[in-house]
A and B are shown apart, each in its own frame.
Chain A
Amino acid sequence: MMKGYKHSVSLDIEKCKGCTACLKRCPTEAIRIRDGHAVINSVRCIDCGECIKVCPYKAKKATHDPLSVLEEYKYKVALPAPSLYGQFDNLDNIGYVIRGLKDLGFDDVFEVACAAELVSAYTRSYITRENIKKPVISSACPAITRIISMNYPYLCENIMPILPPVDIAAALAREKAKKEHPELSDEDIGIIFISPCPAKVSYVKNDFSGERNYISAVVSVRDIYFELLDKMKEREDEPLESTESGMIGIGWASTGGESAAILNDRYLAADGIENCIRVLDQIDNSDFTNLDFVELNACSGGCVGGAMTVANAYVARARLKSLKRYLPVSPNRPASEWIPDEYFNEKEIEYNPYGLLSSDRKTAMRMMSQIQAISKELPGLDCGSCGAPNCTAFAEDIVKNETGANECTVILKKIMQEHGIEQDKILSRYSQMIENVKKSKESGEDDSE
C-alpha cells in the first residue's frame, strides 16, 4: 500500500449532513458514512473529485495552496492549465488572461498548453516505437493513472512514460527563469500551477514525477478566477500579451484534444470516470492492439470538467473552440523527434491492489464466504442508510469489523414487524411527530424557521 499518500479531497464536517450523495457516486467505494458524516478511505481514494461535484452541501473540498503562496517567492511564474482559458465569457484573445496573470503579481507566465504541444509531438514519435505495449494510455489524468495502478496490473506498462505537460512546462519555466535571472536561487523561483482539478494537486504533492518535480505550488482555477477577472477587466483596452500556444495545446483542455494531436485515427478517447473504468475493463480483457492511443479523462468533458473550475464543462469547451480557431496548429515543436531522457517519468507505475480481504488466502476465503452468507440476508436495496454504498460493501464492512451489524434499517424494521417489539409505541410516536409539525403550520404558529 502507498504510505503517507497525500490526498487533496477533504471534508468539512460541519457542513456534511451524512447524506448518501457522495457515497453512491464514488467510483472506488472509498466513502462511508460514519457517525453522521462522510469518511474517506485514503487507500482507495483516487482524488477524482466526483464527491466534490456531487455534494449538495458543499462539504467536500479540494485542498490546494492558497493564493497567498505567491508571497513566498521572489520570482513567480504562473503555469495556467489550458482549461483556464475556457472560463471567461466573451473572451476573444488569450492574451488578456496572460496580461491579467501578470497584473495579479506573476513575473512571468508559462502556458501549460505550450508544453502540451511538445508532449503531443513526443507522443507521435513514441507510439511508432517497437516493443512498446499498445495501446499507449495517456499519462495526463492522474486519477486514471492511479486507478490503473490499483486495479489493472497488466495495464501499468501501457501508460505513457513521458511526463505530462504540466511537469514539462514547470521544467522549462524554471530553466527560463534561471536563464533570464541568473541572480535567482532555486528557492527564489515559485513555479505555480493553476489547476482545474484536485487529482493534479495530489500528483504534485506526492512527487509522482519523482525528483523531477519542478512545481512549487498548486492553486485552483476557482480561487484565482475572480481576482483574475477583475484584473482582466481593468486593462481591457491596453496592449495585449499574446498566447504562444496553438490549437493542439489548447485542445488538451477537453476530451479528444490530446488524441486528435496524434494525427492518426487509431485512438480512443473517453471521459467520465465510470466510462473510463468500463473502457479499462475491456482493454484489460481483450485485444486492443489495433489502437495506438487511449485518452481517458476522469472528468466529464475532460479537464474543463474539473472540480476546481468555475464554468460548465461544455460551455468552456465551446468557448475554447472559438478561442483556438485562428491560432496556428502547433507553434511549439521540439527540436527533434528524440525525446530527452529528463522528460521520461523516472517513477514506474507500481501495482497497488486495493480491497484485499487478507493477504492470507485461507483467511480471505473464510471472510469471502461470510460476506456471501451475510449478503444473502441483506435486502439488496443498496439504499446506503447503513453508511456503505451498497449491501455487498456493507457485508464486507461487517466482516472486516469496520461497522456494526445492526446498521441496516430495513432489517431492523423487518424484525420489529415480525416480533411486534414496541412497534405500536414507535409508530405512534413517529406519526405524532409528523402530525405536530403539520399542525404547527396549519395554525400559522411557529413560523420562525
Chain B
Amino acid sequence: MPDKVRFHFDVDGSDFSSAGAASVQVKKKLRQLAYPPEIIRKVSIAMYEGEINMVIHANGGVVDVEASDEEIVIVLSDRGPGIPDVDLAMQAGYSTAKDNIRNLGFGAGMGFPNMKKYTDYMRIDTEVGKGTTVTMKVKL
C-alpha cells in the first residue's frame, strides 16, 4: 500500500493570470485525501506564495508535493536568477518586485515571511544565476 502520494505541477512563467492555479489543484487533491482543513490551508497559502514568487521572479518552474500521514512536503524549483541575500529576502516587507507587479497588488514583501509562517520547516537553496529551490514541510 502506498504511504505517499505525489503531485507534480508545471508553473507557467509567461502567464501571470494563471499564477496560483497549482495551489488550487493541490487544495482539491488534499481535500479528497481527507486532510483536515487547517493543514490544507497552510499548504495552500505557502504554496500559493511560492508559486507567485516563481512567476514574478523566475519565469516559472515546477512544484512537487508529497503527501503522507506525517507531513506534506512542498518543493518549488526554478531556474531563475537566484537570491543574492536570503536573510534580506526573508525580511517582512523586503521586495525586489518591479512596479508593474506591485500595481497588480503583489510584491508586498510578504511572500517568504508568509511561507515561513504557515509551514513547520522551510529551507531555501539558491545560487545566483542558476536558480532557487524552496523546500517546505507542513506537519500533521
A binding-site residues for B, Cβ under 8 Å: 151, 153-154, 281-282, 284-287, 351, 353, 355-362, 364-366, 368-369, 372
A154 partner, pick from B3, B4, B28, B37, beta carbons under 8 A = B37
Distance in Å: Cβ of B108 to nearest Cβ of chain A: 8
**A-B CB contact pairs (8 Å), 22 listed:** A151-B31, A284-B27, A284-B41, A285-B20, A286-B48, A287-B110, A351-B37, A356-B31, A356-B34, A357-B32, A357-B33, A360-B34, A361-B33, A361-B69, A362-B3, A364-B32, A364-B33, A365-B5, A366-B1, A368-B5, A368-B29, A368-B32
A153 partner, pick from B2, B20, B24, B37, beta carbons under 8 A = B37
Cβ contact within 8 Å between B48 and A357: no
**Residue in B20, B24, B48 with the greatest tally of chain A CB atoms within 10 Å:** B24
Distance in Å: Cβ of B121 to nearest Cβ of chain A: 20
- Inside 8 A of B69's CB, which chain A residues have their CB? 361-362
- Inside 8 A of B133's CB, which chain A residues have their CB? none
Cβ contact within 8 Å between B37 and A365: no
Cα distance A284–B32 in the bound complex, in angstroms: 18
- Inside 8 A of A360's CB, which chain B residues have their CB? 34
Cβ contact within 8 Å between A368 and B20: no
A284 partner, pick from B1, B4, B44, beta carbons under 8 A = B44
Cβ contact within 8 Å between B33 and A285: no
- Inside 8 A of B74's CB, which chain A residues have their CB? none
- Inside 8 A of B115's CB, which chain A residues have their CB? none
- Looking across the interface, which residue of chain A has its beta carbon closest to that of B17? A278
Cβ contact within 8 Å between A359 and B34: yes
Cβ contact within 8 Å between A361 and B23: no
Cα distance A365–B70 in the bound complex, in angstroms: 13
A285 partner, pick from B23, B35, B110, beta carbons under 8 A = B23
- Inside 8 A of B110's CB, which chain A residues have their CB? 287
- Looking across the interface, which residue of chain B has its beta carbon closest to that of A368? B5
1/0 per position for B88-120, CB-CB distance to A under 8 A? Answer: 000000000000000000000010000000000
B63 contacts the other chain (CB 8 A): no
Extra 20 A-B pairs, beta carbons < 8 Å, given A286-B45, A365-B67: A151-B31, A154-B37, A281-B27, A282-B20, A284-B41, A285-B23, A285-B48, A353-B31, A353-B37, A355-B28, A355-B32, A362-B1, A362-B3, A365-B2, A365-B4, A365-B33, A366-B2, A368-B5, A368-B29, A368-B32
1/0 per position for B66-97, CB-CB distance to A under 8 A? Answer: 01010000000000000000000000000000
- Inside 8 A of A154's CB, which chain B residues have their CB? 37, 41
Interface of A is mostly: helix
Complex interface residues of chain B between 14 and 49 (CB less than 8 A to chain A)? 20, 23-24, 27-29, 31-35, 37, 41, 44-45, 48
- Looking across the interface, which residue of chain A has its beta carbon closest to that of B36? A153
Cα distance A355–B32 in the bound complex, in angstroms: 5
- Inside 8 A of B29's CB, which chain A residues have their CB? 368
- Looking across the interface, which residue of chain B has its beta carbon closest to that of A370? B2
Cβ contact within 8 Å between A369 and B2: yes
Cα distance A351–B38 in the bound complex, in angstroms: 12
**Residue in A153, A282, A358 with the greatest tally of chain B CB atoms within 10 Å:** A153
Cα distance A361–B2 in the bound complex, in angstroms: 11
- Of all A-B residue pairs in the complex, the 5 with the closest CB atoms, nearest first, are A153-B37, A285-B48, A364-B33, A369-B2, A368-B5
Cβ contact within 8 Å between A281 and B20: yes
A361 partner, pick from B20, B28, B34, B44, beta carbons under 8 A = B34
- Inside 8 A of B5's CB, which chain A residues have their CB? 365, 368-369, 372
- Looking across the interface, which residue of chain A has its beta carbon closest to that of B51? A285
- Inside 8 A of A286's CB, which chain B residues have their CB? 45, 48
Distance in Å: Cβ of B140 to nearest Cβ of chain A: 9
- Inside 8 A of A282's CB, which chain B residues have their CB? 20
Cα distance A366–B69 in the bound complex, in angstroms: 12
- Looking across the interface, which residue of chain B has its beta carbon closest to that of A285? B48
Cα distance A287–B37 in the bound complex, in angstroms: 18
Cα distance A285–B50 in the bound complex, in angstroms: 12
Cβ contact within 8 Å between A364 and B20: no
- Inside 8 A of A357's CB, which chain B residues have their CB? 32-34
- Looking across the interface, which residue of chain B has its beta carbon closest to that of A353? B31
Cα distance A154–B37 in the bound complex, in angstroms: 8
Distance in Å: Cβ of B56 to nearest Cβ of chain A: 14
- Inside 8 A of B67's CB, which chain A residues have their CB? 365
- Inside 8 A of B37's CB, which chain A residues have their CB? 153-154, 351, 353
Distance in Å: Cβ of B101 to nearest Cβ of chain A: 14
Cβ contact within 8 Å between A356 and B41: no
